[in-house]
A = this chain, B = another copy of it.
Amino acid sequence: MSELKPPSFVSAQMVADRAGVSRSAVSRTFTDGASVSEATRRKVLEAADALGYHVNHLARGLRERSNIVCLVVADMTTPIRARMVDVLTRKLQASGKITMVINTETDTESVSAALRQTLNYRADATVVLSGTPPASLIETCISNGQQVILINRDERLQGSSSLGVDNAMAGREALFLLRRAGCERLGLITSNARTASLVEREAVFVEAAAAEGLQVVVTEAGPTSYESGQEAARRVFGRSEAPDGVFCVTDLLALGFMDVARRDFGLAIPDDLCVVGFDDIEQAGWASYQLTTFRQPLNPMADEVVDLLLQPQRAVSERRMIEPIPVWRRSVRPGKR
Residue among B63, B81, B103, B119 making CB contact with A54, cutoff 8 Å = B119
CB of A288 closer than 8 Å to a CB of B: yes
A160 on the B face (CB < 8 A): no
Known: A54-B116, A86-B103, A282-B77. A10 touches B144 (CB 8 A): yes
Asked if residues A93 and B103 are in contact (CB atoms below 8 Å), the reply is yes
Q: How distant is A56 from chain B, measured CB to nearest CB, in Å? A: 6
With contact pairs A90-B103, A145-B5, A145-B8 given, residues A120 and B55 touching in the complex (Cβ less than 8 Å): yes
A84 to B: closest C-beta gap in Å: 9
Shortest CB–CB separation between residue A326 and chain B, in angstroms? 22
User: Would you call A99 and B98 a contact (CB within 8 A)?
Assistant: no
Q: In this assembly, does A238 line the interface, its C-beta being within 8 Å of a C-beta of chain B?
A: no
Are the C-beta atoms of B52 and A140 separated by less than 8 Å?
Answer: yes
Query: In the complex, what residues of B have CB within 8 A of residue A333's CB?
Result: none
Copies of this chain, tallied across the complex: 2
B263 & A144 in contact (Cβ 8 Å cutoff): no
Contact among B5, B56, B100, B263 with A98 in the assembled complex (CB-CB below 8 Å): B100
Assess whether A85 is interfacial by the CB under 8 Å rule.
Answer: yes
| A120 in contact with B89 (CB, 8 Å) | no
Q: Which B residues are CB-close (under 8 A) to A116?
A: 54
**Please, what's the 1-or-0 string for A88-105, where 1 marks a CB less than 8 Å from any CB in chain B?**
011001000011111100
**How many Å from the CB of A134 to the closest CB on chain B?**
13
Give the chain B neighbours of A79 by CB distance below 8 A. Answer: 77, 79, 82
Query: Is there contact, CB below 8 Å, between A230 and B62?
Result: no
Q: Which residues on the B side are within 8 Å of A120 (C-beta)?
A: 54-57
Please, how many angstroms separate the alpha-carbon atoms of A102 and B88 in the complex? 11
Chain B residues whose C-beta falls within 8 Å of the C-beta of A54 in the assembled complex = 116, 119-120, 144
The answer to whether A63 and B6 have CB atoms under 8 Å apart is: yes
Contact of A100 among B61, B76, B85, B100 (CB under 8 A): B100
Contact of A230 among B90, B98, B255, B287 (CB under 8 A): B287
Give how many A residues have a beta carbon under 8 Å from the other chain's beta carbons: 65
Which chain B residue lies CB-closest to A49? B140
A101 to chain B, nearest CB (A): 5
Contact between chains at B230 and A144 (CB < 8 Å):
no
Whether A144 pairs with B8 at a CB distance below 8 angstroms is yes
Say yes or no: is A158 at the interface (Cβ < 8 Å to chain B): no
Structural contact, B82 and A7, CB atoms closer than 8 A: no
Considering residues A86, A102, A255, which has the most beta carbons from chain B within 10 angstroms of its beta carbon?
A86
For the complex, give the distance between the alpha carbons of A63 and B57 in Å. Answer: 14
Does A121 sit within 8 A of B, measured CB to CB?
yes
Chain B's closest residue to A309 (CB) is: B4
Q: Contacts A85-B76, A93-B102 hold; do A119 and B9 have CB atoms under 8 A apart?
A: yes
Is A222 in contact with chain B by the CB < 8 A criterion? no
Whether, in the assembled complex, A58 has its beta carbon less than 8 Å from a beta carbon of chain B, the answer is yes
With a cutoff of 8 Å between Cβ atoms, the chain B residues found around residue A93 in the complex are 102-103
